[in-house]
Amino acid sequence: MKIIHKYLLKHFLKTLFMMLVALTVLFLLFDFFEKIDKFSAATDPLVSTFSYFFYKIPYTLSMMFPLSILFSAMISIGLLSKNSEITAMRASGLKLSYLMKPIFYASLIFSIFSLILNETIVPFATARSREIYNIDIRRKDKTGGYSQKNLWWRNKNEIYSADFFDSRTKTLFNVSEYVLKRDSFKVLKRIDAQKAEWINPTLKWSMHGVKEYLFIDTDRGTYDFKMTNYKSLPMLIDETPEDFYKAKKDPFSMSYFELKEFMKTQEKTGLSVKGLEADLYAKVSFPFVCLVVCAIAIPFALKPARSGSLANSVLAGFTIGFTYFAVHSLSVAMGRAELFPPLISAWVANILMGTIAIILNIGAEDPS
């Protein structure tokens, strides 16, 4: 690597590290003060709070990477430009594209790293932090974020529901099973259980505190039922604890392959997954925002060489970041609503902002 490239990369990476730490800490502090009353009410406030924020770090880092790279490019290149160092380099005959090559490569590497992070550590850590917040800190049991609306599923003519799933004990609470007549929606049997525990892949689920209702047609054309109590009964379903663990996560907290598998499961139950396709493609497109915002920030970072002020460049950085996230959020939302093709909606922000970046960088090659 050329000495001049090492010099520029050193300034960029040093600023990037400081920005990443500052923005991450700031984000976590805002989260802490927003939930401080919940943390103080936890059974073990210190351990629960530390665990929550420890698992929140990967998600926060993935969110702060684009902003950190954006402001690092604006500040590091802006300061060098203000001190006329970039001007001196370009006056010696070096092109802007050549000078910025190591920064572009670094941004591309961080884009790939962000993609890998979002596919490996972030899904698990995000689910774990939410689990700690809902179970250990807020101490939810049968209501709220783990409510029954998130735990309904179907298997042929049988419909199941559960109020709550604790992934640590692998237990479903307040389980109900409805057996329907195949050619109609008449209920033939209903089973209610206080809980269903996962035994192993062979024995699967065991229900405890069971009440079974058998509905019988009478001669008068009405229904009668017979109720039987059981201490325990097996629950013969194909779902495993991992399926319920994924069911309470939103698309962002799943990896690309987890979301794809989740969509397949939803399709099997007859539910439409068109609205999730945009989120699926966005998992690949969004990490490359690091490269896009870096490319579009560099021409604005050169302005202090002429104006002598870095404030306008920082303001431009805020504008660029807001514009990208606004365009990306809007396009993905339109993809979810099936107004745009999902693949296009996921990539339109990168394509639009990338095109603008190319035009601006071509124009910035003229040092006059």
Q: Which residues share a beta bridge with 158?
A: 155, 179
Burial class (CB in 10 A: 0-12, 13-18, 19+), 182: exposed
pLDDT number for residue 144 = 34
Distances (CA, A) of 117 to 91, 263, 350: 40, 22, 20
Q: pLDDT digit of tens for each residue in the chain (368 aa)?
A: 688 889 999 999 999 999 999 999 999 999 999 888 888 877 778 888 899 999 999 999 988 999 899 889 888 888 888 888 888 888 888 888 888 899 999 999 999 999 999 889 988 888 788 878 877 777 654 333 333 345 777 777 888 888 888 777 888 888 999 988 877 778 888 999 999 999 988 889 999 999 999 887 665 656 677 889 999 999 988 888 877 765 545 666 778 888 888 788 777 666 677 878 888 999 999 999 999 988 888 888 877 555 556 677 667 777 887 888 889 889 988 988 888 899 999 999 999 999 988 888 888 776 55
- Listed in order, strand segments (DSSP E) in 56-157 are 152-155
In three-state secondary structure terms, 222 is: coil
Going by DSSP bridges, is the β-strand pair 152-155/187-200 parallel, antiparallel, or unpaired? unpaired
DSSP string, 17-80: HHHHHHHHHHHHHHHHHHSHHHHHTSSSHHHHHHHHHHHHHHHHHHHHHHHHHHHHHHHHHHHH
Tell me the domain boundaries of the chain: 3-138+274-364, 152-244
Strands 204-217 and 171-180: unpaired
The reported pLDDT for the residue numbered 142 is: 38
The residues near 338 (Cβ < 8 Å, ≥ 6 apart) are 274, 275
193, 213 contact by CB (below 8 A)? no
pLDDT of residue 99: 87
Express each pLDDT in 307-333 by its tens digit: 556 677 667 777 887 888 889 889 988
What CA–CA distance (Å, rounded) separates 71 from 321? 9
Over the stretch 33-77, which tens digit does the pLDDT of each residue have? 988 888 887 777 888 889 999 999 999 998 899 989 988 988 888
Say if residues 98 and 365 touch (Cβ distance below 8 Å). no
